[in-house]
Amino acid sequence: MKIILIGASKKARLVLDFLEQENRAVDVIGFADRNPALWNTLVAGKRVLGTLERVLDAESATTTAFCVCLSERYFTDRLQIAALLEERGFAATSLISHDAKVSASATIADGSILFPGVRVGMDVIIGTCVTAYSGALIEHDCDIAPNVEIASRAVLAGGVRVASNAFIGINATVLPNLKIGRGALIGGGAVVTKDVDPEAVVVGNPAHILSAQAH
Give the domain CATH number at 63: 3.40.50.20
Query: Three-class SS of residue 76?
Result: helix
Q: Is the pLDDT of residue 79 over 70?
A: yes
State yes or no: pLDDT of 87 exceeds 70: yes
Per-residue model confidence (pLDDT) at position 215: 55
pLDDT, averaged across the chain: 92
Mean pLDDT across 41-63: 91
Confidence of residue 161 (pLDDT cuts 50, 70, 90): very high
**Residue 214 maps to a domain:** no
Give yes or no: residues 50 and 66 share one domain: yes
Report whether pLDDT(213) > 70: no
What is the reported pLDDT for 78? Answer: 85
The answer on pLDDT for 19 being more than 80 is: yes
* 7 and 74 housed in the same domain: yes
Residue 176: pLDDT band with limits 50, 70, 90: very high
| Cα gap 65→21, rounded to integer Å | 21
Asked whether residue 17 falls in the same domain as residue 103, the answer is: no
Structure confidence at residue 63 (pLDDT): 86
pLDDT for the residue numbered 201: 96
End-to-end alpha-carbon separation of the chain, Å?
A: 37
Looking at residue 59, its pLDDT comes to 87
- 213 falls within a domain: no
Element housing 18 (H / E): helix 10-21
Handedness of CA 118, 121, 127, 128 (dihedral sign): positive
